[in-house]
Amino acid sequence: MGKYDNDVKRLLELVGGKENIQAVSHCMTRMRFVLVDPKKANEKEIEELPSVKGTFTQAGQYQVIIGNDVSVFYNEFTAYAGIEGVSKDAVKAAAKTNQNPLQKIMGTLGEIFAPLIPALICGGLVLGFRNVIGEINFFNNGTQSLADISQFWAGTYNFLWLIGEAVFHLLPVGIVWSITKKMGTTQILGIVLGLTLVSSQLLNGFSVSSTPADQIPVWDFGFAKVEMIGYQGQVIAAMMAGFVLVYLEKFFKKICPEVISMIVVPFCSLVPAVIIAHTIVGPIGWAIGDAIGNVVYAGLTSNVRFLFAAVFGLLYAPLVMTGLHHMTNAIDSQLLASPSKSTILWPMIALSNIAQGSSVLAMSVLQKKNERAQQVNVPACISCYLGVTEPALFGVNLKYVFPLVCGMIGCCCAAMISVGFGVEALSIGVGGLPGILSIKPQYYLIFLLAMAVAVVVPFTLTFIVGRIKLSREDRFGKETAAPAAADATSDSTAETEKAAAPAEDVKELKSILDGKVIPIEEVQDEVFSQKIMGDGVAIEPSNTVVTAPADADVTVVMADTGHACGLTLANGLELLIHVGVDTVDMNGDGFKLFVKEGDHVKKGQKLIEFDPEKIKAAGHPCTTMLIVTGEGSASGITMHTGIDAKAGDTTVISWQ
């Protein structure tokens, strides 16, 4: 009889049976299913299985979070179900067959913009800070800003534009690079093509509308003239140029003999792509982008703008769940490239973040005695208020439905206030409560009112409806006394042995890498950032060798991928070490594992070595997680973040 015999049998039934499983695989913590009909999966009952810590759907995969024992669970599941597991790449390929053409387009668009989001957020915060120090007249009876009265702040204001310009004016470089990365072609060619779109030799794209037609510089080829126009801030044109380059390179790679491909392919791909970009797709993309921007702007400034705002505010959260919201990034960027250099659309997106977060806040109050629910509610609410809504939408609001609807209603009300008064943002990327930093200073008070509505309305509605609709089990959790007693009886011998075993007097874990220690909430993976696996820390590494944080036994390893392992200390404290985000997709390329299951390791002993360049080339962050998955006899565990750590020397986790 297997360790998870009952849960394995029940999970197979709850996912719709063997006939509903198209493919299955696993990573360090999760079972990854591609289901023939995802609607047949009974999510609520699956999450109630003792061995399941949570579920979510991403990119066509239904993922069931198990934890460190996932490999054991997976082996028992595939053996019982009579299903042969497949590789992670095969699962991803199968997942795409579950998507319709629109989902595939939106998925591609999302994958193009996803690597750019950190830069957009950073740029948005920078421009928001510039707003505060240079655009708001706090001093001398409202006539001067901080930059006006201080040379230091004036210099800071000017200096910060260096970053803002790099992010928003030179955005086409990032877009074309991201397309080549996504499509698997040569990324440096994408960067070069992007640079030709924003070269200083060209008339700045933001100056085109104010430049008389006869003063626009041209390349004169005798038989034809081509306007020397830059595409700063242009999104559609950059995307079209990027795909031209990608398909040219793929074509020439296919027909060119290998012996001369290094010379022929780059030249025959890049040069025609640049020509086509400036003569055909660039002007077409500019026209399309302008048309989209003009239509949206007209809707946001017309006599029916309240209706437009109401509909957008009501539907934005469902758009996020379908992935269609990625299109708004392109529209917002296009609006920022318009003569107004601002967007009325982005403030509504920030308000949607706040509204959905407020629904979760109400659920957190209603379920304050449901410990399991709070493990999802609290981090989901925080991330939502900081501009990331997916954990709240998929983990809480969609699960109960009514919080989602209450958040949509609240956003609808707030959006009408924002658009009705013409609130404009100078940048995008900063959502949630910090979104006010991107707002033009003259609209601060109105936007604060809209934010208040986005907090109060969803919270109040969710709280009222929740008091009526939520069952006692939903609010207070399942009665666990009887199961706990049974577990205590069945495991009494093991517990007695554990208590009798002499535990080493270890009170801390040393850093597993050199680098910056950051809160686990900042990791770009909701399983870790929501602490579904447990609390811990993350490290942005500056070296490439992961070492043991303390003397411990190796309890689990990912032998086929080498990117993660689990440890258990003498006091029962269980740890998960996971190098990178989604690095399971690399199938071991770039990783070397130095331990095996059952080994005993000493503090500072080498566990894993990784190649950061390969991880980055695969499109993954190198952020490495150290997670406490079981506390053992430790208590009062404290995470030490915001520090620069030295492997083996710096304490990152401690306890009493």
Any idea which residues carry the catalytic annotation? 27
Residues in the chain: 656
CB 194 within 8 A of CB 232: no
Instruction: Retrieve residue 169's tokens.
Output: 């004016």
Instruction: Retrieve residue 547's tokens.
Output: 């070492």
**Torsion angle, alpha carbons of 570, 571, 573, 576, to 10:** -10
Non-local (6+) Cβ contacts of 482 within 8 A are none
Instruction: Retrieve residue 341's tokens.
Output: 């250099």
Q: Which of 584, 548, 534, 543 is nearest to 563 (CA)?
A: 584
Distance CA 538, CA 532 (A): 15
Residue 212: φ, ψ to 5°: -55, 145
199: left (phi over 0), alpha (psi -120 to 50) or beta: beta
CA angle 221, 222, 226 (to 5 degrees): 45
CB 197 within 8 A of CB 241: yes
220 DSSP β-pair partners = 225
Instruction: Retrieve residue 363's tokens.
Output: 């659920």
Token look-up 């809160």 returns 519
Sheet arrangement for strand 638-639:
508-510, 651-654, 638-639
**Helical axes 236-255 vs 187-197, angle rounded to 10°:** 140
CB 461 within 8 A of CB 438: no
CB 315 within 8 A of CB 408: yes
Q: Which of 319, 315, 295 is nearest to 305 (CA)?
A: 295
Distance CA 25, CA 41 (A): 17
Max CA distance (Å), the chain: 92
Sequence-ordered alpha helix ranges (H) in 234-281? 236-255, 258-276
Q: SS3 for 637?
A: coil
DSSP assignment of 104-138 equals HHHHHHHHHHGGGHHHHHHHHHHHHHHHHHHT---
**Torsion angle, alpha carbons of 510, 511, 512, 516, to 10:** 180
How many Cβ atoms from other residues are within 10 Å of residue 284's Cβ? 13
Count Cβ atoms within 10 A of the Cβ of residue 283 and give its class: 0-12 exposed, 13-18 middle, 19 or more buried: middle
Token look-up 């006599």 returns 303
Distance CA 222, CA 8 (A): 74
Count Cβ atoms within 10 A of the Cβ of residue 30 and give its class: 0-12 exposed, 13-18 middle, 19 or more buried: buried
How many Cβ atoms from other residues are within 10 Å of residue 222's Cβ? 5
